[in-house]
Chain A
Amino acid sequence: MALQLKRRGIHRVRPLEGGYASWKLLGYPLVPWKDGKLALEAPLSVPA
């Protein structure tokens, strides 16, 4: 997928190691999914 994006001119791409499963496993914050749109309304700040 990263290669596909690079082919479309998006070069600064980094895949998350372990994906969603590892983020969740480490107990890092998750926010409710907002259907369809950018979830940018969700808080960007992350508790330490």
Chain B
Amino acid sequence: MNDSIEFLRENGTTVVFFAVLAEQMGLPIPCTPWLLAAGALAHSGRPSLLTIIGLAAGAAALGHLGWFFAGRRWGYGVLRLLCRISIEPDTCVQRTQGTFDRWGGGALVAAPFIPGLTTIAPPLAGLSGMPLWRYLSLDLLGDALWAGTFVGLGYAFGDQVTWALRGALTYGSSILGVALALFCLWLLFKLVQRERIRRKLHVERIRPEELQEMLGRPSPPLVLDLRHRRELLEDPRTLPGAMHLSPAEIPSRHSEIPRDRELVLYCS
């Protein structure tokens, strides 16, 4: 066990760098425990607190940068890909865009603290055309605050973190087992919930061929375009006769939708 702690003491910076880089690139590798542990071990001054924070912030920024350029290059395709692999793809794109619209560049500063947003915010910044210098400043600020928070917590509660670290190294497999079981339960709940909604909607879907035929009728259905405004600016076309309404406008504008017509809605 002492060997493990000594290993962390010797290789803490390398472990922190790669754990943060991997997590911030979107891999399911938790880096928060490493930041806390590194903060606790910084009491000995080896490595220093500032070194760890700088290294973690740099690794996070590096992990995000690829996504920023991917967003700039491939636009919404990247966002859709990221949301497809998320557990809630139905709401993922819209929710993320909503957060970005509400907070603007501030979303980049807050993103590292919000699970999910941290990977999606950089490509959103890229596709929105944010200048690189502005993106890097905001992202680095957020990453430094995030790393500083967890390393600082590890430093402030050094004794407790070291105690937890020793416990984790001793009873690691049991703790990991409980955590894994809880994660599996949560995942199962989300999958069942998603499948229930998908089934409910599946029977009501309309095929493009069917819609095209219906649009030629004397009383066609009302088509509702739910794409985000930014997506419309990227490809400023809609289906014939479509009404555009962003999801955020539904509470205030749903009265504009006639109840006596069939409604076909689409997003990206």
Decide if B164 is an interface residue (CB 8 Å cutoff): no
- Which bucket holds chain A's interface residue count? 35 or more
Report B196 CB to chain A, min CB distance, Å.
11
Known contacts: A30-B237, A39-B243. The answer to whether A16 contacts B215 by CB under 8 A is no
B263 A40 Cβ-Cβ under 8 A: no
Decide if B232 is an interface residue (CB 8 Å cutoff): yes
Which chain B residues numbered 153 to 204 have a C-beta less than 8 Å away from chain A?
A: 197, 200-201, 204
Known contacts: A17-B206, A33-B237. The answer to whether A4 contacts B268 by CB under 8 A is no
A8 B250 Cβ-Cβ under 8 A: yes
Q: A30 touches which one: B94, B215, B239, B268 (CB < 8 A)? A: B239
- With a cutoff of 8 Å between Cβ atoms, the chain B residues found around residue A3 in the complex are 197, 200-201
A40 B241 Cβ-Cβ under 8 A: yes
CB-based A-B contact count at 8 angstroms = 130
A22 to B268, CA, bound (A): 9
Known contacts: A4-B250, A14-B205. The answer to whether A29 contacts B240 by CB under 8 A is yes
Identify the stretch in B39-47, B111-119, B143-151, B254-262 within 8 Å (CB) of chain A at 4 or more residues: B254-262
B254 A32 Cβ-Cβ under 8 A: no
- With a cutoff of 8 Å between Cβ atoms, the chain A residues found around residue B103 in the complex are none
Q: Please give the number of chain B residues whose Cβ is less than 8 angstroms from any Cβ of chain A in the complex.
A: 44
A22 B240 Cβ-Cβ under 8 A: no
- With a cutoff of 8 Å between Cβ atoms, the chain A residues found around residue B26 in the complex are none
Known contacts: A3-B197, A12-B261. The answer to whether A32 contacts B236 by CB under 8 A is yes
Interface of B, helix, strand, loop or mixed by DSSP: mixed
Report B207 CB to chain A, min CB distance, Å.
5
Report A9 CB to chain B, min CB distance, Å.
7
B240 A42 Cβ-Cβ under 8 A: yes
Known contacts: A20-B227, A30-B239, A43-B240. The answer to whether A5 contacts B266 by CB under 8 A is no
Q: B254 touches which one: A10, A31, A40 (CB < 8 A)? A: A10
A15 B240 Cβ-Cβ under 8 A: no
B220 A44 Cβ-Cβ under 8 A: yes
Kindly name the residue among B209, B242, B250 whose own CB sees the greatest number of chain A CB atoms within 10 A. B242
Report A28 CB to chain B, min CB distance, Å.
5
Known contacts: A28-B208, A45-B216. The answer to whether A19 contacts B241 by CB under 8 A is no
Known contacts: A1-B226, A16-B206, A16-B208. The answer to whether A31 contacts B267 by CB under 8 A is no
A37 to B242, CA, bound (A): 10
Residue of B nearest to A23 (CB): B208
Which chain B residues numbered 222 to 256 have a C-beta less than 8 Å away from chain A?
A: 223, 225-227, 232, 236-244, 247, 250, 254, 256
Residue of A nearest to B237 (CB): A30
**A residues whose Cβ falls under 8 Å from a Cβ of B:** 1-5, 8-10, 12-23, 26, 28-33, 36, 38-40, 42-46, 48
A and B contact pairs by CB, cutoff 8 A, 7 listed: A13-B263, A14-B262, A16-B205, A16-B266, A30-B237, A33-B236, A45-B215
